[in-house]
Each structure stands twice: as C-alpha cells, then as structure tokens.
Amino acid sequence: MARSKSSNAWLAEHVNDHYVHMAKKDGYRARAAYKLLEINEKDKLIRPGTIVADLGSAPGSWSQVAARLVGGQGRVFALDILPMDPVHGVDFIQGDFREDDVLDAFVELLGGRELDLVISDMAPNISGTSSIDQARSYHLNELALDFARDHLKPGGHFLVKVFQGSDFQSFLKAMRELFGEVVSRKPKASRDRSNEIYLLGKGRR
C-alpha cells in the first residue's frame, strides 16, 4: 500500500531528525530523552538520591535518564498502559493509570515513600478530533496532578506535558494552587509544529 504524503513527510522528518540520531548514538529509546535532559539541565530536578515516579513511561527514555541521574541511592518507579522493556534501576508496572486497581498497585510499589519528583509524559490515543483529544489529555493531566498531590513530599516538584487549548488556564490555576511556582518549558527537542509544552510545578506546598 502506498504511503500518504503526510506519512512520507513524517518519515522524512524522522529519518533526518538530529535527536533521533543522537538517541541511537547515546543508547536512549526515544528522542524524548533530550526533552527531560534539557529541562533537568535548567531546573536541576533529578539529582543523586532523588525518588521519582515516571507516569506514561513507555518506551522508557525518561526512565533511562532518571535512573542514570538518581544513581544507586535514588529510586525510579514507572507506569504505562503499554509494555516497557526493563530499565536497570527502574520498578515498572504495566496498566491503565485511570483504573483504581492499577493506581493502587503502583502506590503499593512505592512502599510508603514520599516522592521528590513526579514526571508525566502521558498522552491519550489520538482520535483526530481535537476537542476530544484535548479533553482526554487534560483528564490524564488532572489524574497526574492528583497523584502528585497525594504522593509528593513538601517541596517536591511536578513536570507534566500539556497541550495548549481551552483547558489550559484552568489546569494552570490548579497547579498554582499546589505549587509555590509554576513555569513553562518548551525544550529544543520538542518539535516546533507541536503545541505541546511542559509545565513545571516547583515546591509542593
């Protein structure tokens, strides 16, 4: 079957993508690794000993970055609806974050630890209808924020991918109620045509 023009364009972009080549060279599973690395370079979120939850972790590039940076004294706990090949130093559960029994199992995995950092690169399956996709995306973001509210230690941080749309301001307001400071980040590895940005909540109240 012939590829569509849009899929040919995506393939050409992907093949020529600087970050795709870097990921292969550096051993990361996806170009998304460089988004987290750039944000961390600026905001110093992950240090040796940090306890991290990675929501929407598959294929595992953010978990790879986090596990490398937290070192032997830190811990990384990861969750995704998709399978993820093991990452050394990462405890992973496969399941749907929206389901209570999956969330309960993940909380049990934490073993009562308070988290220093919650990172969420979750995105819904895209339907192609922007209003539906936006609503699904913000539902996941709100669940991630609820999780951060319940499990971050005071002073902890929360990094979440959001898509700019009608729900953006209300979500931003909810984050500002929980964190001392909320800033936006658009890393260079985020494609220009994407309307994704990352919101970083610093200093859980």
Per-residue pLDDT, 5: 65
- Interval 18-44 mean pLDDT: 96
Q: Does residue 136 form part of some domain?
A: yes
Give the CATH number for residue 137. Answer: 3.40.50.150
Q: Does residue 46 form part of some domain?
A: yes
- For 80-135, write each residue's pLDDT tens digit: 999 999 999 999 999 999 999 999 999 999 999 999 999 999 988 888 888 898 89
How large is the angle between the packed helices 130-151 and 100-110, nearest 10 degrees?
40
Q: Does residue 16 form part of some domain?
A: no
Residue 161 annotated in active site: yes
pTM: 0.92
Domain count within the chain:
1
What band does 1 get if pLDDT is binned at 50, 70 and 90? Answer: low
Q: Does residue 144 form part of some domain?
A: yes
Does 96 carry a binding-site annotation? yes
- Interval 19-40 mean pLDDT: 95
Q: Does residue 2 form part of some domain?
A: no
Averaged confidence pLDDT in the chain: 93
- For 147-186, write each residue's pLDDT tens digit: 999 999 999 999 999 998 889 999 999 999 999 999 999 9
Q: Does residue 139 form part of some domain?
A: yes
Residue 15 scores a pLDDT above 60: no
Q: Does residue 15 form part of some domain?
A: no
Domain hosting 66: range is 31-204
Structure tokens at 90: 């990462």
Does 133 carry a binding-site annotation? no
Does 10 carry a binding-site annotation? no
Per-residue pLDDT, 128: 84
Q: What percent of the chain has pLDDT over 90?
A: 80
Per-residue pLDDT, 195: 86
**Given 25, 35, 161, 202, the catalytic residue:** 161
Per-residue pLDDT, 126: 84
Q: Does residue 134 form part of some domain?
A: yes
